[in-house]
A and B are shown apart, each in its own frame.
Chain A
Amino acid sequence: MDAIILQILNGLDKGSAYALIALGLTLIFGTLGVVNFAHGALFMIGAFCAVTLNRLLSLSHQVVDETRTDFLGNPLRVDIPYVYEWFGPEVGATIIDWSVPLAILFAIPIMILIGLAMERGLIKHFYKRPHADQILVTFGLAIVLQEIIKAFYGANPIPTPAPEAFVGSFDFGALIGFDPLTIMYPYWRLVYFSFAIIIIAAVFAFLRYTTFGMVVRAGMADRETVGLLGINIDKRFTIMFAIAACVAGLAGVMYTPILSPNYNMGMNFLVLSFVVVVVGGMGSLPGAVAAGFLLGILESFASRAEVIDIIPGINQVIIYLVAIIVLLTRPRGLLGRKGVMEE
């Protein structure tokens, strides 16, 4: 039993990332009808927002410290980050320590800008083109974005630690009445999971309870009619694209302590997220979220030694296998709406 709970927990963080990316993909597909292959790159850019903020905050200048000397007896030169001077050493250290959560604030405007620029500059011209063209042009864009990042940050993964407070694991088993030390779960993964839930809830609430969201939902159902009613639906869909980009970016920001960002992390996640979207059902938001968590947990179960002993290699292929089975038996995905991209 404790083993099962442990696997579910282990699947949650990856599942959260899948769910967030798949949510954005589905938002874009449901509103604009565009298959966005550059969404993984947005996830990656989000992660690099965290890296950038970390570096910005750590910017420092050298100060000669008279009180200390190096081994030759000269005064020691020490690097002092500017934030130390502005806010004092203690607050400064805390700010740098908390750079990843702070990067959320930093990433939101950047991702919205990138999203708006992408939609207005490129995607807009591809509404009427076939899906194959949309896939190809966004695929090209993904290559360009990731190469730009590579040019600036190099090809190696850049470790970006979580705040000190969240390092380490806590004893989840003891909390719910199992033997202590049976279910250990890293704090940051719990943070990530809660964060994902908040974001997902926010997006759903936004669509469900605001007038803006209502119009967008109406536009998803019947774009032409909404347009005929005198509502500028294109503008709202552009904003939805920016929101989707933002969701992917935030997913990336918070994922940096789990996986050191590297320029091609987005592509790896993108492929899996597409599978998730298809399994959940193209155009279905709850489907995307549910399938994301489901596949994350399935993957974690398949990685158990007992399972691998029975079916070797299953941990590598489980997601794809599920996708193939779902696509062949239930063409519109788990929660897909009838008639949406069933062909």
Chain B
Amino acid sequence: MLGLNRKDSGLFLLVICLTALAPFLLNPFPEGSELAQFNAGYPDLMQRFMIFGIFAIGFNILFGLTGYLSFGHAAFLGVGSYAGVWMMKLLTVNVVPAIIMSVIVAGLFSLIVGFISLRRSGIYFSILTLAFAQMSFALAYSVLTPITNGETGLQLSLNDPRILGISQTVDGSIPAANFFGIEMRDSLELAMGGWLFTFNAGYYLAAIVMLISFYIAIRIFRSPFGMMLRAVKSNQQRMSYTGLNTRPYALTAFVISGMYAGLAGGLMVAMDPLAGAERMYWTASGEVVLMTILGGAGTLLGPIIGASAIKYFENIFSKINDTVLHGWFSFMPDGLQDFVVAIIHPFIGKGWHLTLGLMFMLVVIFLPGGLMEGINRLRIWFGKRINGRQQTPDHAPATSS
């Protein structure tokens, strides 16, 4: 299908099904039940799954394939966001020009940063990208305030020109971001029994863009170009000895991943038309590194899983508080209940970063391949057990999806 082999087509179809049915899958618990707070099927969070999925897929094309660890990728996302908001201010609130412009601007910016940073590798490359990102952040906060609106963040306003659209609607409010008339915040709600499913226009736009970027990523992974990037990772020196200049390949990968980041920034703006400098801060760059590693660098599905996992924890874990915990452990005797709650307390609510950090450390220590490696190991383990029962020689299915 579409030039993919059978296994990749299967994977792609799986991802299509998952994203299309996400509003159902992420809302497994009925509305109003104890567990309803674990539901992730609300538009805002689902959009974020997709957007950060794109960001992580792009980062993975650079880090997973070439092994260059960039610590400044959020700068491209931030630059893309600013470009997107400006398109919405100047042209129209239709999201298409905003997204396209985000990708272009982020691509150009990453071309410059990549051209300079890729002169070095290893930790120096990380520091260079970090330096560029921090510079963009600092400048966006201070000198570039006319463009970025400094600390307030760039927003739409009533007296923007919007030459292709309207400055303000008839009732004098800012027009809503739309895709040829479909407003991003439009949702179709479907109540079935105790369940409430929300189908959000913005989510589906983001999902389609994510699927396209995922498809492109598969094609890159399977292409000769992707092979070349893996060769850069495994032994750059040997590549140079064979008379090959590796830098153009690495630079292309860098620009592609920068454009992915810009795309994510553009989508972010499409869902919520504002952009702030804090998106470029280095912790934001660190976050995408966490996502990719957590999911599994160098795998196709890993970054999406990692991004979704982190965003899920960020939104759901941080909502659990002591009252909820007391509710869960109410079956215990009082003293024990307080004790258990006191133990769990630092890991939830505002302390969810602690859980994230611990999880991340455990993954790096024990599962260098990320959650995907965990899944594969489980698969092999189950495969062995089944094979053992059937008295067949065990052959571990070598999987690398």
Interface residues, chain A, CB within 8 Å of chain B? 35, 122, 125, 129, 131-133, 135-137, 139-144, 147-148, 150-151, 155, 267, 271, 274-275, 278, 282, 312-313, 316-317, 320-321, 323-324, 327-328, 331, 341, 343
Contacts and interface: CB of A to CB of B under 8 A. Distances in A.
Contacts of A151: 346, 351, 354
Nearest to A277: B127
Given A125-B365, A141-B357, A324-B131, A313 B143 contact: yes
Nearest to B143: A313
B131 A136 contact: no
Contacts of A312: 142-143
Interface residues of B, number: 41
A224 B31 CA distance: 64
Contact of B122 (A136, A137, A323, A341): A341
Nearest to B144: A313
Contacts of A122: 365
B364 interface: yes
B77 interface: no
A35 B120 CA distance: 17
Interface in B109-135: 116, 119-124, 126-128, 130-132, 134-135
Given A139-B286, A313-B139, A316-B138, A341 B123 contact: yes
A316 B293 CA distance: 31
Given A313-B138, A343-B121, A136 B353 contact: no
B283 interface: yes
Contacts of B138: 313, 316-317, 320
Top 7 nearest A-B pairs (CB, nearest first) are A313-B143, A143-B357, A316-B138, A147-B354, A140-B361, A320-B131, A144-B357
Contact of A140 (B134, B283, B360): B360
A246 to B, nearest CB: 23
A131 B351 contact: no
A143 B353 contact: yes
Contacts of A316: 135, 138-139, 141-143
A122 B362 CA distance: 11
B128 A135 contact: no
A267 B135 CA distance: 16
Contacts of B295: none
A233 B353 CA distance: 37
A201 B109 CA distance: 44
A132 to B, nearest CB: 5
Given A137-B364, A140-B364, A317-B138, A327 B122 contact: no
Interface string B344-385: 001000110110111011001100100000000000000000
Given A144-B358, A327-B128, 13 more contacts: A133-B368, A136-B364, A140-B357, A140-B358, A140-B360, A141-B361, A147-B351, A151-B346, A274-B130, A316-B138, A316-B141, A317-B134, A331-B124
A327 B289 contact: no
A139 B69 CA distance: 13
Nearest to A272: B134
A239 B121 CA distance: 30
A278 B368 contact: no
Given A137-B364, A323-B127, A328-B116, A144 B134 contact: no
B52 interface: no
B282 interface: yes
A341 to B, nearest CB: 7
Contacts of A131: 122-123
B361 A147 contact: no
A28 B351 CA distance: 30
Contacts of B124: 278, 327, 331, 341, 343
Nearest to A312: B143
B135 A150 contact: no
Contacts of A271: 130, 134, 282
Interface string B156-176: 000000000000000000000
18 contacts: A131-B123, A135-B126, A136-B293, A139-B286, A140-B360, A141-B357, A141-B361, A150-B350, A275-B127, A278-B123, A282-B123, A312-B143, A317-B134, A317-B138, A321-B135, A323-B131, A324-B132, A343-B122
B67 interface: yes
A331 B368 contact: no
A320 B135 contact: yes
A304 B124 CA distance: 30
Nearest to A29: B123
Contacts of B67: 132
Contact of B351 (A142, A150, A331): A150
Given A267-B283, A312-B143, A331-B120, A274 B351 contact: no
Interface in B65-90: 67, 69
B365 A137 contact: yes
A133 B119 CA distance: 22
A173 to B, nearest CB: 31
Contacts of B354: 143-144, 147-148, 151
Nearest to B126: A135
A139 B288 CA distance: 13
Interface in B47-74: 67, 69
